[in-house]
Structure 1
């Protein structure tokens, strides 16, 4: 494990304390989870970019053409 020193604005620090206390977790656990969630978002974007490079407009249109053209169920309509 690595220890880091972090400077935060007081307002953000107070909010982190509040949320961590409400969730019954430590500030360290809250910040570790927040960092992991952010990294996951970046990794997802990178994964989707790589996948997009492997495809084509033609393949996308082909996949769309295979979707039946039917009305959605009443509960599924916008």
Structure 2
């Protein structure tokens, strides 16, 4: 995990008990459970930010031109649009 630092964390008793139970069931420490949960949340937020940034750079008119162009092969049986 690399270099670590200490962070005091206050949790409601019910949440702490749920984390302890799940960590115990997974065979990991509560610290590892919380660190993994924080890492997963950061990954989700970074992914959302990435797609929002990509959306901002999109050329929707070019996309529509591609969708309207002629050519290609017709859809296979069962892939037709309703």
* Coarse TM-score class (shorter-chain normalised): 0.7 to 0.9
Per the alignment, residue 40 of structure 1 pairs with: 43
Instruction: Name the counterpart of 2:6.
Output: 3
> Which residue is equivalent to 2:22?
19
2:41 and 2:6 map into 1 onto residues whose CA distance is 19
What is the deviation of 1:59?
Answer: 2.9
Q: Count how many residue pairs are aligned between Structure 1 and Structure 2.
A: 72
TM-score with structure 2 setting the length: 0.75
Q: Secondary structure at the match of 1:5?
A: coil
**Structure 2 gap ranges (5+):** none
* CA distance, structure 1, for counterparts of residue 73 and residue 40 of structure 2: 36
Which residue in the other structure is 1:31 paired with? 34
Q: Select the structure of larger CA radius of gyration.
A: 2
Distance in 2 between residues matched to 1:49 and 1:16, nearest whole Å: 32
Consecutive unaligned residues in structure 1, runs of 5 or more:
73-78
Deviating beyond 2 angstroms after TM superposition, the runs of 4 or more aligned structure 1 residues are: 59-72
